[in-house]
């Protein structure tokens, strides 16, 4: 749907005599491929909101991994300390 709308808009603009040099869209995969393969003369840019949102989700995922690793290490340390404290001392 998004790709078809873009094609329709570009053909409408060129039919009215407008020449497009730059285009800003979201990071939709079909749009990227279309712009790369069929509209190479138009410079394709991504809007800042979608770039920032993608970066935010990547950072959120990495932080989640760090928290999980921290919790696993914390559990290991707790078990180790309990084991050390409950051992008989000679």
In this prediction, residue 20 carries a pLDDT of 92
- pLDDT for 90 equals 43
Q: How much helix, strand and coil, in percent to the nearest 5, is found in the chain?
A: 70, 10, 20
**Distant-in-sequence, close-in-space partners of 6: CB < 8 Å, separation ≥ 6:** 25, 31, 34
Could you report the average pLDDT of every consecutive run of 10 residues in the chain (90 residues)?
92 94 90 94 86 76 77 72 59
Domain-by-domain residue ranges, the chain?
1-46, 48-90
Q: Please, which residues bridge with residue 25 across strands?
A: 46
- Residue 15: predicted pLDDT: 95
Q: pTM score > 0.75 for this model?
A: no
Q: Report the pLDDT value the prediction gives residue 81, as an integer from 0 to 100.
A: 66
* CA 88 to mean position of chain CA atoms: 53
d(CA 65, CA 72): 11
């Amino acid at each position: 749907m998004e790709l078809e709308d873009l094609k329709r808009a570009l053909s409408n603009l060129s039919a009215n005599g407008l020449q497009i040099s730059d285009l800003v869209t979201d990071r939709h995969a079909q749009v990227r491929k279309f712009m790369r393969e069929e509209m190479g003369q138009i410079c394709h840019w991504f809007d800042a909101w979608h770039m920032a949102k993608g970066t935010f989700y990547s950072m959120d995922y990495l932080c989640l991994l760090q928290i999980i690793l921290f919790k696993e290490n914390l559990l290991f340390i707790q078990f180790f300390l309990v084991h050390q404290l409950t051992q008989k001392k000679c």
